[in-house]
Amino acid sequence: MISLSRANFLGTKPGVSGISNGSTRLQRRGPEVIRVAVGPSKGRSAEGNGTILTEEGGISASSVIDLNDKSTVSGGGVEDVYGEDSATEDQLVTPWALSVASGYSLLRDPRHNKGLAFTEKERDAHYLQGLLPPAVVPQHLQVKKMIHNIRQYQVPLQKYMAMMDLQERNERLFYRLLIDNVEELLPVVYTPTVGEACQKYGSIFKQPQGLFISLKEKGKVLEVLKNWPERHIQVIVVTDGERILGLGDLGCQGMGIPVGKLALYTALGGIRPSACLPVTIDVGTNNEALLKDEFYIGLRQKRATGQEYAELMHEFMTAVKQIYGEKILVQFEDFANHNAFDLLSKYGSTHLVFNDDIQGTASVVLSGLLSAQKLVGKPLADQTYLFLGAGEAGTGIAELIALEISKQTNTPLEEARKKIWLVDSKGLIVNSRKESLQHFKKPWAHEHEPVTGLLNAVKALKPNVLIGSSGVGKTFTKDVVEAMATFNERPIILSLSNPTSQSECTAEEAYTWSKGRAIFASGSPFDPVEYEGRTFTSGQANNAYIFPGFGLGLIISGAIRVHDDMLLAASEALAAQVAEEHFAKGLLYPPFSNIRKISAEIAAKVAAKAYELGLATRLPQPENLVKYAESCMYSPAYRSYR
């Protein structure tokens, strides 16, 4: 099979039409390997220079017409096939090439490269003799070697770069390594290390791993999408880089987030890599340090807002649906609050869209609270909730908790919301502030006298559950945690902000200040804590528990819209995976080591809800959705080549 870098390279007539005549040569490397190189333009027509394709699937040596017998020879006696050495700097050379994945090119194709795992038969059939050392090393030994090498690095960013290098070199080995060592490598390829990677993305950038769509492409976004080599895309993760984790505006360098999320979609949810597309919408940045950084890779201008921003996003959303169809899942990632809510509201009724910061975070936190019910012996409706942070994460979590309470108690949603209180930078959100509140905060303005400061709010409301989604570190102080422990036998404390430096408190602080009574989970991972002879292992309320399985469920059902009931189904499915042995350790979540099975269970529940709501298009519904989900998952095992 011959893959063309340009579909119109070979016309119906023999010859390379429309190419200026230079040193045009064809080489043969085995019966299936053809390379075409066109040298520098000399201003003459190429008419008359031709190639003849045979029906047997190649270009025979005798069919090559080379009108220029005098080959240019560069230093060392090596023939200058491409004409690049003989070209002056102002002459144009054509970088077109066509080849099948064999020989040297096969070793540089990340999707098909197996490194030393190529068998003797494959090496013989695909012209690999001499290009590899003699040893044949199976995939499991390659994994063993790679994890050993990665453990030698002391700096997390070095581990991240080593993983990204492997992904660009050997795709299947990358995913095998990640799946087999998920608990160890998840913090490397995603939070917290990905935050530092985004901050330094301009310095470590090697080659694009997704699409960069900037204001320069306004008016031709559809054409830009067509430049991506894959046509059967199922999931797009898109960011505009304005609110990367708790790090703020990182502009174009936010690309690390979509790349990382989609790596998890494949490793944890089984979505095949070729069906995933990372996208960064670059509208500038307000980060002065980046604008002055000589290595910054994005637009050097202040961030566009208003109509200009809305028009580019609308063009993108329209083009995505036009090229990939109704069932393409678009996941919004790390947009600032105002844009995040607006985009979800605007496109929620016309596209299959999902915001992981609002909906994914909400689903994983609700799951933790459903698990905590069993530890404290109280249903959700009998508890009071206090949030520090009233942005997209905080209000998203609050709304899903209210929906679950409403569902469990069969009471109106407005009544369920009264159990939930939010504190923002100006204090407790109460009715007297309603006129000045942003629209997404207004449902959480309850009747109460004004209260400033988190500690005062804790003392006034005596909540059972304290949830941090502020993006500001060290805000759950000793006084706050001790206050929670005075009126709760088992205070539930969720410190969700990422990365670790922005966490509201650490696991050690929560357990120590509560005298070992806290039920604690966090957004970033923490090591086990020793306190008075006991070992406490905290859970990680990581969105990676939810979004890979959630996305898989949408895909296998052919869902066309996301419904809140699907999020509730995902939360309940995750909570059902927490066993008694996990509760005994105080864990609110199951271990990540079984994440693929967990994702299949979540996918099945989400798909079942899509069928129930009439939002599924893949008919008929499979009898066993769990087995069907597992059967659809991508496997990173090496394939045998004929």
- Single-letter amino acid code for the residue at 213: I
Question: Is 642 annotated for ligand binding?
Answer: no
SS3 of residue 492 by DSSP = strand
Runs of H (alpha helix) within 410-542 = 413-417, 454-461, 478-486, 507-513
Residue with tokens 């989604």: 469
d(CA 545, CA 597): 11
**Quick one: which of 533, 488, 531, 486 has its CA closest to 506?**
531
Confirm whether 190 is a catalytic residue: yes
**DSSP secondary structure code for residue 639 in this structure:** P
Q: Which of 127, 190, 265, 296 is catalytic?
A: 190
Question: Is 243 annotated for ligand binding?
Answer: yes
Q: Which two tokens stand for residue 596?
A: 């693929």
- Single-letter amino acid code for the residue at 549: G
Q: Are strands 25-28 and 34-37 parallel, antiparallel or unpaired?
A: antiparallel
d(CA 381, CA 396): 18
- Single-letter amino acid code for the residue at 189: V
**Quick one: which of 559, 556, 575 has its CA closest to 613?**
559
Q: Which two tokens stand for residue 1?
A: 């099979």
Per residue, the 3-state secondary structure of 509-538, as one string, reads: HHHHHCCCCCEEEECCCCCCEEECCEEECC
Q: How would you list the strands of the sheet with 276-282, edge to edge?
A: 211-214, 276-282, 235-239, 329-332, 352-355
Taking phi over 0 as left and psi of -120 to 50 as alpha, with beta for the rest, 60 belongs to beta
Q: Which of 261, 419, 605, 609 is catalytic?
A: 261
Contact between 335 and 240 (Cβ < 8 Å): yes
Q: Which two tokens stand for residue 367?
A: 């799951």
d(CA 22, CA 69): 12
Q: How many Å separate Cα 367 from the centre of its chain? A: 21
Contact between 16 and 24 (Cβ < 8 Å): yes
Question: Is 170 annotated for ligand binding?
Answer: no
Question: Is 333 annotated for ligand binding?
Answer: yes
Cβ density class 301-328: b for 16+ within 10 Å, e for less: eebbeeeebeebbebbbebbbeebeebb
Per residue, the 3-state secondary structure of 281-335, as one string, reads: EECCCCCHHHHHCCCCCCCCCCCCCHHHHHHHHHHHHHHHHHHHCCCCEEEECCC
* Residue list for the binding site for (S)-malate: 243, 498, 542
* Residue list for the binding site: 243, 333-334, 357, 498, 542
Residues with catalytic roles: 190, 261
* Residue list for the binding site for a divalent metal cation: 333-334, 357
